[in-house]
Structure formats: structure tokens, C-alpha cells
Structure 1
Amino acid sequence: MGGSGRADTQTEDAAPGSRPRPRRRLLRRLGVVALVLAVPVGGLVWLFQDDLFHPFGDARACEGSDAPLSDFPGVGNAPLPDDASDVHYFTQDGTAQVSFRSSRIPEFLHRSGLLAEGAPPFDKQDGGAYGLGDGEPDRPQGLCGPALRGPAWMYGGTFVSVLVERSDINPDAFRGPAARAVVTYRSP
């Protein structure tokens, strides 16, 4: 019994810092657990960053949008072309502005009813020149992504209007191989 009492006495009389206190040990363990959990949580945040940091979980939505694009009925009447790429949109106060690139702009204009079937794309009856010089950029306020570059042509309707890049070489063609368009949908 004397031997066990002596060991207890030696432990209590040991110099401070020679053996970690239970509180310090607990803090070290919590630090290790936090580091171990930080790696997978950071990985998940990186993996799902588009869903976490974009409005409505849609990577195409620009910051400040107040409604998802699916809330605009005009989009269903004039859906984006199948080959639409680099799509971005901004919604605010019943208006949606959608920017995209496509090689099928004439088909889109016919489907949306902004260009009469068989009409040339740059007929002044269906549209008009938009005041942008060659290569001059334009992007509506709030819309993110690349800017539309001039020269441009504007088509207008009651609930849908379209601004499209024209070729800076051939005035009777859209910019190729794919032109950028900015479509504005207004709620009825």
C-alpha cells in the first residue's frame, strides 16, 4: 500500500507542465477533430459552390436576381436555342434578361415571332441598328457574364426583345461562328 501512495504523491508533486492537464488534452483533441472535419466540409463546399453561392442554386443566375428564370412565361414561348452556351440571366421586377451565345439565332428569332418567316435577318421592318460601334461592349445593368459586342441589331416585341451581335465584316450576317444575344422577357 505504501508503494501506491508514493506514486500518487509523486504525481501530485510533479512539476507543472511535465504532464498535460486534462483540459489541455481535451482542447488538443477538439483541434484535431476540427481539422479532420474541415477537410471534407471544405471539399463539399467546393463541390457544390455553384448551388451554394448563386441565387436559386442556378449557376446561370446573376447576383441580385429576384426570381428563377422558370417564373417567366415568355421563356416557354421562345425557348433558348438548343446550342445556347455561356448562358447568364438577371431577373428583377418582372423582367428577365438572358445572355447567351448561339449559331442558331435566325431560328430563335423566327420561333419567338420577332422575325417573319422568310424575311432577311436585317430587314428594317423587323428590327433596327443598335448604337454600338465595332467591338464596343454592352451589358445591361445587373447581367453578369461576357458583354455583347457591337455592331448589334435590335428586334422588339411586346413581351420579348432581342439584341444580337452582327458581323463586323459582313453587315448581312450575325457574328460567327456563334453570336451573343441578350433577350429581355417582360411579364404580361
Structure 2
Amino acid sequence: MIYVVLAFLAISLLLYVLLAGADFGAGIIELFSSKENQAINKKTVYQVMGPVWEANHIWIIILIVILWIAFPHYYNILVLALHIPLTLVLLGITLRGIAFVFRYYDAYKDSSQILYDWMFKTSSLVTPIFLGLTMGGVVSGDIINPSQMENHSFLEVYIHSWFNVFSILTGFFYAALCAFLASVFLIGEVDD
């Protein structure tokens, strides 16, 4: 039975990395594209992402629920030790969703569109970096159980587990992977 649970956990993680990663990558591509290509990229992103832009986050919700129900002890350790990058990921996902909605569906087009564009592009880059930092912290094995905090400092328990060279490189690698995935998925949608 444990292998079935782990299989669903792995499938949820894979689908989130691929599908939501491509969504994050679309914003990264828009951030680093030239001024004349940004309008084309923005139009293409709306055509491709518009119908499903929030549906991809269901995979991370499934992943969290499976981890919480199947492995509550490990879930507790991970959520407590990695609460800083996970909070920043949640903030980035929220800001990105707000920006995506208001820059496309806002009835009144004014200078606030510049703010929404900036929020969308920035959160599309920062969120995958913090997701990669979190994954790097999990994979590195440096997480200390917060219930044993009396033997360690705050920095050792809550910062060093995810803010190290390996995790930072993992964060930038995931952001680059997101941009690559978006490029692959978007190339079939471009007419030129």
C-alpha cells in the first residue's frame, strides 16, 4: 500500500513540476524577452494559459494532502522547518494569480497595468526559485526536526536547511527548467 501512496505522491509532483512549471516559465520568458516581443509573448500566453492557468495548482494541493494524510510526522517536520520558503512560494503564487487576472480581465486599462505586468513577471521568476530552494532543502537532507531545536540555533533549524549553495542552485535550475518547458509548450502556438 505504501508504494501506491508514494506513486501518487510522485505523479502529483511530476505533473506540478511539468504543468505549473510551464506556466511559471511563460512569465519568465516574458520577463526576459525584448520590448517588441513582449506583446507577442503576452498574447500567446493568454491564448495558451488562459483556460487552465489555475488548474495546474491542483497537483500541489493533491501532493500536500497526500503528504499530510500519509506521512503526518514528516509533513510536520517539512512544513515547520521550511515555513519561510513555503510562505514565499504561497505569496508568489497568490501575487501571480492576482496579476494574471487583473492584467487581462481588468475593465479599466490604465497605468496599473504596468504594476500587474511587473507583478506577473517577477512572481513568475521568484516563485520557482523558492520552490527549487524548498526542494533543494528536502533533497539535501539537512533539515533538522524543529522539536529538537534546543540543541540548535534558529539559523540552523529554519534557514541553513534551505539557504545553502545546493538549494540556491536547485532554485535557479528549476527556474531555467520552467522557462525551457514554457518555450517547448509555446512554440507550437506561435504563428510566425
TM-score, L = length of structure 1:
0.20
TM-score, L = length of structure 2:
0.19
Larger of the two Rg values belongs to structure = 1
Higher strand share: 1
Greater RCO, CA 8 A, separation 6+: 2
Higher helix share: 2
